[in-house]
Amino acid sequence: MDVDVPRRERLLTSSRPMSDLDVVSASGPWLYLADGRRIFDGSSGLVCVNVGHGSAKVRNRVKAQSARFSFGGPAVVRPRAQLEVAERLCRAVRRPQDSVALVTCGTLGVEVAIGLARNITRVRDRKRRGDILTSTLSYHGNSALTLALAGNHARRPREADAFGLGPAFPAPYTPTHDHSGGTCDASCAAEVAKAIDARGTENVAAVLIEPVNGTTGGAYVPPPGYLKRVSEICRERDVLVIHDEVLTGLWRTGTPLASHHWEGTEPDLVILSKGLGAGYTSVAAVLVAPELAPLLRHADADPLPAMGTMAANPLQAAACLGVLDELESLDLKAFTARGERLGAALRELPGAGPVKEVRGLGHLYGVEVHPGRLWPLMKQAQMPGPHNRDGAFFYPFTGTGHPRSEGLVVAPPLTSTDDDIDFLIAALRDAVTALS
């Protein structure tokens, strides 16, 4: 059925242009189009299809569960599959003793993490308020609360609708902090201390931070020492650290958690989402450190935050188990080498053309372009190149943070092969060359 213009308008999506990729099927990293061409999914959808499209492991798990029963959260049916997800997920991210809340999307994961952090600090530290501090370069979801809290400028509500909330400290990136000389002493972390002290430590429940930035600024990586110092500053003040690893969790940056790239950065709570559902199910997991979880059941504690009708549902859990099956069968050595090769090749993209800077790690990169070059480059990448008839899709980041920047998110499925990565590099290089 043809989708004509008025019908397109019927669907209220984001302000991003609606895609014209008419996909009839998908397998691994490839999207197959109605006109017979195929397009490489160079951003894993919205940086979520981490185990590729059409996974038989996921399909079989979901099929088996739906043949048994499809609804039944932990308040209704003994949550066998959900407990298995919790167990295997915690092991996968090297936090084997954590407690886990399973909810239906990244935004709700952040909301629930905020609720849990407030409960914990109220009981443990008798905090007066439950303020949550975020950075000027951050995105934490699309609810009224998370939009108001975070620093994604384009998505911020009008000031009058923001409940008086907003980002509290500058991000540790240029131009607010210039580390270009490579001599950062992590003094940018002192900004976090200043922000907490300005509110009064008795009023701050947690600092909420993306350890590696996702799509707001395009894979900004903090300077070494930054996250460790932020953790120390928070501990000195009885403030919890929440890592938003909705996008980066489960190997996207090359390690189970992005924070594993640095010592001494273990958060009190961590939120995972995209890599756990991998586009097959909508899910987020909030992990709570074992020394804190018992406080949530303390006699004086507030009730746990409400998590929703579809929280921890069995089909969701079945899909997650299939995704974990896939992740557990990754050849980590080859996977790591592929990520490093991808990063090295991207950093060698022609400098005289649209590309301004490349940053990132593992299987997550931001290719920042000069102003005005983003949409032409995205379009060019989808066209056949001199070396192939297939194109590549990349999700854009569009200058919505501070610092402002725009470019392509390069984030292929983690299950991509050597040949897949070669194709991706060649397709992007050809597109950049064509516009140089």
Ligand X SMILES: Cc1ncc(COP(=O)(O)O)c(C=O)c1O
How many residues comprise the chain? 436
Residue type, 318: A
**402 Cβ partners below 8 Å, 6+ apart?**
136, 137, 151, 153, 170, 171, 176
DSSP for 240-306, written as a single string: EEEEEETTTTTTTTSSSSGGGGSTT---SEEEE-HHHHTTTS--EEEEE-TTTGGGGGSTTSPPPPP
CB nearer to ligand X: give 210 or 326.
210
CB of 417 to ligand X, least distance (A): 26
The dihedral of CA 18, 387, 42, 315: what is its sign?
positive
Smallest distance from ligand X to CB 113, Å: 10
Q: Is the preceding omega at residue 29 within 30 degrees of 0, hence cis? A: no
Q: Are 226 and 261 in contact (CB under 8 A)?
A: no
Tokens of 262: 């640095």
- Nearest CB to ligand X, comparing residues 214 and 362: 214
Identity of the residue numbered 146: T
Burial-class residue 163 by CB neighbours within 10 Å (0-12, 13-18, 19+): exposed
Is the previous residue joined to 412 through a cis bond, with omega within 30 degrees of 0?
no
Nearest-angstrom CA–CA distance, 268 and 273: 17
Which amino acid, residue 248? T
If one asks whether residue 242 binds ligand X (CB under 6 A), the answer comes out as: no
Binding mask 118-137 for ligand X (x = CB under 6 A): --------------------
Nearer to ligand X, 284 or 421 (CB): 284
Q: CB 97 → ligand X: shortest distance, Å?
A: 25
Binding ligand X (rule: CB under 6 A), the pick from 31, 89, 100, 110 is 110
- Dist CA 424 CA 37 (whole Å): 16
Residues 355-394 close enough to bind ligand X by CB under 6 A: none
Q: Fill in the DSSP letter of residue 160.
A: G
Residue 213 or 231 with smaller CB distance to ligand X: 213
43, 50, 55, 107: residue in contact with ligand X (rule CB under 6 A): 107
**CA separation for the pair 394, 246 (Å, rounded):** 19
What is the pattern of x (binds ligand X, CB under 6 A) and - over residues 266-305?
Answer: -------x--------------------------------
Using CB under 6 A, which of 41, 111, 244, 430 touches ligand X? Answer: 244
Stretch that binds ligand X, among 102-110, 183-191, 344-352, 358-366 (CB under 6 A): 102-110
- The first and second tokens of residue 90, run together, are 């915690």
Nearer to ligand X, 131 or 210 (CB): 210
The tokens for 149 are 């809290």
Segment lying near ligand X (by CB under 6 A), choices 220-228, 239-247, 299-307, 350-358? 239-247
Instruction: Indicate whether 105 belongs to the interface with ligand X (CB under 6 A).
Output: yes
Among 113, 137, 246, 292, binds ligand X (CB under 6 A): 246
Q: How far is the CB of 167 from ligand X (least distance, A)?
A: 14
Cα–Cα nearest to 291, from 120, 110, 86, 115 = 120
If binding is defined by CB under 6 A, does position 255 make contact with ligand X? no
- Asked if residues 61 and 318 have their Cβ atoms less than 8 Å apart, the reply is yes
Q: Pick the closer one to ligand X by CB: 204 or 246.
A: 246
For the segment 320-339, give every residue that binds ligand X (CB under 6 A): none
Provide the minimum distance between the beta carbon of 104 and ligand X in the complex, in angstroms, as a whole number: 8
* Number of CB atoms found within 10 A of residue 291's CB: 10
Least Å from the CB of residue 403 to ligand X: 17
| Pairing state between β 240-245 and 204-209 | parallel
CB of 392 to ligand X, least distance (A): 21
Pick the closer one to ligand X by CB: 107 or 382.
107
Question: Least distance from C-beta 109 to ligand X, angstroms?
Answer: 7
Tell me the C-alpha distance between 353 and 348, whole Å.
12
Beta bridge partners of 41: 393
Least distance from C-beta 8 to ligand X, angstroms? 22
- 222 is a site residue for ligand X (CB under 6 A): no
Which residues make Cβ contacts (< 8 Å) with residue 23, sequence separation at least 6? 31, 32, 33, 34
Near ligand X by CB under 6 A, which window of 37-45, 104-112, 171-179, 428-436?
A: 104-112
190-199 helix and 226-236 helix, angle to the nearest 10 degrees? 30
Contact pattern from residue 134 through residue 153 relative to ligand X, giving x for each residue in contact according to CB under 6 A and a dash for the rest: -----xxxx-----------
Q: How many residues bind ligand X (CB under 6 A)?
A: 15
Which residue ranges make up the site for ligand X (CB under 6 A)?
A: 105-107, 110, 139-142, 210, 214-215, 244, 246-247, 273
